[in-house]
Amino acid sequence: MLQVENVLFTAVMLLYFAAMILYFVFLAVKKDVLSKVALVLQIAGLALHTAALVCRGIGAGRLPLTNQYEFATSFAWGLCLISLVFVMKFRFPVLGAFAMPVTFLMIGYAAMQSKEVHDLMPALRSNWLGFHVSTAIIAYGAFGVSFVLSIIFLLRDKMQEKGFLDQHIPNREKLDLISYRSVALGLLFLTFTIVTGAIWAERAWGSYWSWDPKETWSLVTWIVYATYLHLRIRRGWQGKAAAIFAVVGFICVMFTYIGVNTFLPGIHSYA
Amino acid sequence: MNTLKRIWKWIGSMQFAIGLLVLLAVACSIGSFVTQGQSFDWYAARYNERTAAIIMALHLDDAFHSWWFLAINVFLCVNLLLCNVVRLKPLIRRTKAETQIDLPGENTVRADGVNEPEAFFARLHMPKPVRGAAPDGTEVLVSSKNRIGLWGAWVCHLGILLLILGFSLGQMTHKEYVAYGVPGQTRPIGDTGLWLTIDDFQIGLREDDTVEQYTADITVFRAPQGSTSAPDTRSATVSVNHPAKLFGMTFYQNSTGWAATVSVTKNGEPLQSEVVCAGDYLRIADMPNLVVYLNAFYPDYVSMPGSRPMTASGQLNNPAYLYSVYYGSDILGMNVLMPDESVTIDEYEVKFSDPQTYTLIQIKRDAYTWLAFLGGVVTMLGLVLAFYLLPVKVWAVRKEDGTWVVAGRSQKGGAIFAERFQSAAIDSEQKSA
Ligand code: HEM
């Protein structure tokens, strides 16, 4: 099973890479049909990615959500899924062109991690871990999409061109709304993540909140996005300031995910 | 009076909320970067004396329990409370207004010449409209959905308030104890008057010798008041991730370590024999000033010249005991002892044997955990309402020529709602044409 996963994983990387390149070509030569092919590749990649995760789950005999490799590949999966949903729902292929590189970077990061399957230490053997990590994947995916949307928003303000890109990128108001929808999805799931994590910590360590660095940074992330929500509804602040906060929010997400493990040890340092 | 009112208003404002949220985020990140709970000397060694002095003066060494962290949270609570109180009445009014027959006002989109308004409502997935009449007698249809969504922010703020309240009350009142020992031992649980007996302790290993689970069987009882009444006794099994609740307290299998039997003879006669956990000590029965510490236990001892004693694995391949002996506060000796060796102190001889694992049970009482979790659930509910039940109101007004003007409003739907509205209107016209 794990060998099948390995093959699938390589295929997924290739598909994501091809989709990314096609999206770029689509932006460069301005042919709509290219974005459709890129979208098909992205969907195919996502399907194989799902299969790879299922294989790993069967091979390891548990949910594939417990070490740095598994979380990185799941994160890439979440990002690909949520960006796909947004591209299709809002008919917005340019979003795909910006989101695919982030997805590709993420799966590249996964490829650099050790793929060994380890048995779980007792504290990690909990159903709450499944809820905790799977909600985090959706949250991180949605925040990734809001990050990309905010970058597009900020670039759009600088853009002189009136033509192809102008037609393919929604106006400021709509872009802000789409970004809001993705932050909303992310914040809701981040709240699920924090609450299920707290329930799990309460059962495993006897304390639902202990200001461990990873906990603290998930709270910082949560607060940053809450601030985004409020900035958005303040007259005169929506748009640029909110977009900057969404970018800062995603930097916090990445710091919580990678930075904390590297710089600030705590009970989460194995995950 | 006026300035006082203004200050209140400002404290309950969203502007103040944004400021507090940013402050809280900064405070939390400082608390995560400065290693918590260390001494002045530790910080001085890590950074320098001046930085250490600043850290101590600003309580950055215990940031999450400092006066300024508390102050931010108190302000946040007052801010949330005021905001929710002030907004309650307008919110009720707005919720009622969603079903009332009024005519298009702010934030509306409209379309002309619709022939079948019911079909138009259905196309926008609106519920069946209510029929009524405008003040001037024209026929009006009104439909609204997701009115409850108006309450999202309010419910979310209430949840956060409960959460902070539950967490703070828990911090102030919770009690925590530990009890550890090997099977057969009974220990007091702090000052609760309860006792804990460890009936059994098992370490479940997998085939490759990694640990799958730690499981302890425990019995907790209250020491009887008089000698006549039987003790109130309750038993449970606890393992990692599976705590048990007894006597209103939660018992957790927390950790494990090594213990050994320490036997003392005096002039060759057995004097005492007790199980002592690593890190713990034994007081010689007839000379209380003489104390033997079991500092550490190495199941698979390796000694290398010039380095500290170590264990090569968790297996009992080559057990060794690191002990020290004190008389009062004077250290008499410290060494590593193998199972067949002993220490002699005057007429006493001390031996270590029977290494076994002990379990550490953590015991906790937090009467407000439920409140914090209720707050969490209410917060999530509020977010679902705010984000996924977007209130929409749609009207249709009959014109003299028999066609209808339709109008709609969705504060949060914005441009996306407007697009859906317009395409539904175009669909309606095409269908009827
Ligand atoms: C610190 C005190 C806070 C105050 C005084 C405050 C105040 C407000 C106000 C006045 C609104 C506007 C509501 C509306 O127009 O319907 C609002 C919206 C909202 N607030 Fe807060 N807020 C606070 C903290 C928070 C926090 C910590 C969160 C955490 C997630 C939060 C989540 C929300 C949400 C979800 C909305 C609705 C936004 C939307 O739907 O776009 N608030 N808040």
Interval B263-309: pLDDT, tens: 999 998 999 999 998 989 999 988 999 999 999 999 989 888 877 88
Averaged pLDDT of chain B: 89
**Tell me: the pLDDT tens digits for B29-40?**
999 999 888 899
From ligand 1's centre to the CA of B152, what distance in Å? 9
Quick one: pLDDT band at residue A124, thresholds 50, 70, 90?
Answer: confident
Q: Pick the residue whose CA is nearest to atom 18 on ligand 1.
A: B153
Q: What percent of chain B has pLDDT over 90?
A: 55
Q: What is the model's pLDDT at position B411?
A: 78
CA dist., res. B304 & res. B308, Å (int): 8
Q: Which of B17, B240, B414 sits opposite A204 (nearest CB)?
A: B240
Q: Is B161 in the pocket of ligand 1 (CB under 6 A)?
A: no
The atom of ligand 1 lying closest to the CA of B82 is 5
Question: How many CA atoms does the CB half-sphere of A46 hold within 13 Å?
Answer: 18
Would you put residue A70 in left (φ > 0), alpha (ψ -120 to 50) or beta? alpha
The answer to whether the Cβ–Cβ distance between A227 and B387 falls below 8 Å is no
Q: What percent of chain A has pLDDT over 90?
A: 59
Residues of A in contact with B14 (CB under 8 A): 230, 233-234
CA dist., res. A172 & res. A240, Å (int): 10
Q: What is the model's pLDDT at position A270?
A: 36
Which of the listed ranges A42-51, A257-266, B222-231 does the model predict with the highest average pLDDT?
A42-51
The domains of chain B, with CATH numbers, are 2-74 (no CATH), 98-146+390-432 (3.30.160), 257-361 (no CATH)
- The residue extents of the domains of chain A are 1-115, 124-271
Q: What is the model's pLDDT at position B317?
A: 87
Residue of chain A whose alpha carbon sits nearest to that of B26: A220
The mean per-residue pLDDT over the stretch B310-322 comes to 87
Residue A182: count of CB within 10 angstroms of its CB: 25
- Interface predicted TM-score (ipTM) of this complex, two decimals: 0.91
Q: Indicate if the alpha-carbon torsion angle B278, B281, B285, B290 is positive or negative.
A: positive
Q: What is the model's pLDDT at position B2?
A: 82
The mean per-residue pLDDT over the stretch A224-253 comes to 87
> Looking at the complex, does the CB of residue A139 fall below 8 Å from at least one CB of chain B?
no
The atom of ligand 1 lying closest to the CA of B13 is 5
> Looking at the complex, does the CB of residue B212 fall below 8 Å from at least one CB of chain A?
yes
SS3 B137: coil
Burial of residue A9, with CB atoms counted within 10 A of its CB: 0-12 exposed, 13-18 middle, 19 or more buried: buried
Q: Indicate if the alpha-carbon torsion angle A241, A247, A252, A256 is positive or negative.
A: positive
Residue, of B430 and B171, whose pLDDT is higher: B171
**Tell me: the pLDDT tens digits for A53-102?**
999 999 888 888 888 899 999 999 999 999 999 999 998 999 999 999 99
Q: Indicate if the alpha-carbon torsion angle A58, A59, A60, A63 is positive or negative.
A: negative
Asked if residue A215 has pLDDT above 60, the reply is yes
Q: Is B386 in the pocket of ligand 1 (CB under 6 A)?
A: yes
Residue, of A46 and A166, whose pLDDT is higher: A46
> Looking at the complex, does the CB of residue B18 fall below 8 Å from at least one CB of chain A?
yes
How far does the CA of residue A181 sit from the closest CA of chain B (Å)?
8
Strands of B223-347 (E only): list them: 232-239, 244-246, 249-266, 269-277, 281-283, 290-298, 301-302, 310-311, 320-327, 330-337, 342-345
Averaged pLDDT of chain A: 89
Candidates B15, B383, B384, B390, partner chain A, best to mutate (most A CBs within 10 A): B383
Q: At what angle do helices A2-29 and A68-89 cross, to 10 degrees?
A: 40
Q: Is A258 in the pocket of ligand 1 (CB under 6 A)?
A: no
CB pairs under 8 A between A and B: 115
Q: Is B76 in the pocket of ligand 1 (CB under 6 A)?
A: yes
The pair of structure tokens assigned to B154 is 């309010």
Quick one: pLDDT band at residue A269, thresholds 50, 70, 90?
Answer: very low
The atom of ligand 1 lying closest to the CA of A191 is 30
> Looking at the complex, does the CB of residue B219 fall below 8 Å from at least one CB of chain A?
no
Q: Is A234 in the pocket of ligand 1 (CB under 6 A)?
A: no
Question: DSSP states of A12-55 as a string?
Answer: HHHHHHHHHHHHHHHHHH--HHHHHHHHHHHHHHHHHHHHHHHH
